[in-house]
């Protein structure tokens, strides 16, 4: 799945769309661990943003990309394509 609802803001920040590997997450977790409490199971139904992620919602939910179990939120290029190198 590719998330690019916030593309204008991403361009300003020098990052590209997010590639979310849904299948990989299905292999690692139960559907109910994400749906419906963290993510509504409908494309585009979640108003995701980096602020929300950093506030502990969506991808940044505790025990997700905010823990030793998964790469952290500062590794922009693990989620965003086309990250500009400084």
Cα 3 to the center of its chain, rounded Å: 8
Which chain residues interact with ligand HEC by CB under 6 A? 1, 3-6, 9-10, 13, 15, 18, 20, 22, 25-26, 29, 31, 33-35, 39, 41-46, 48-51, 53, 59, 65, 73-76, 78-80
Given the structure tokens 């990250």, which residue do they identify? 83
- CB closer to ligand HEC, 43 vs 68: 43
Maximum separation of any 2 CA atoms in the chain, in Å: 39
Distance of closest approach, residue 84 Cβ to ligand HEC, in angstroms: 10
Please report, for residues 31, 41, 79, the alpha-carbon distance to residue 50 in angstroms, rounded to integers and kept in the order given: 23, 19, 11
d(CA 38, CA 74): 20
Distance of closest approach, residue 16 Cβ to ligand HEC, in angstroms: 10
Distance of closest approach, residue 27 Cβ to ligand HEC, in angstroms: 9
């Amino acid at each position: 799945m590719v998330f690019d609802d916030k593309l204008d803001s991403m361009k300003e920040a020098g990052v590209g769309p997010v590639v979310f590997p849904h299948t990989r997450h299905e292999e690692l977790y139960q559907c109910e661990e994400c749906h419906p409490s963290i993510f509504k199971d409908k494309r585009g139904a979640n108003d995701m943003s980096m602020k929300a992620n950093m506030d502990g919602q969506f991808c940044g939910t505790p025990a997700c990309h905010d823990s030793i179990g998964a790469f952290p939120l500062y590794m922009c290029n693990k989620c965003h394509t086309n990250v500009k190198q400084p």
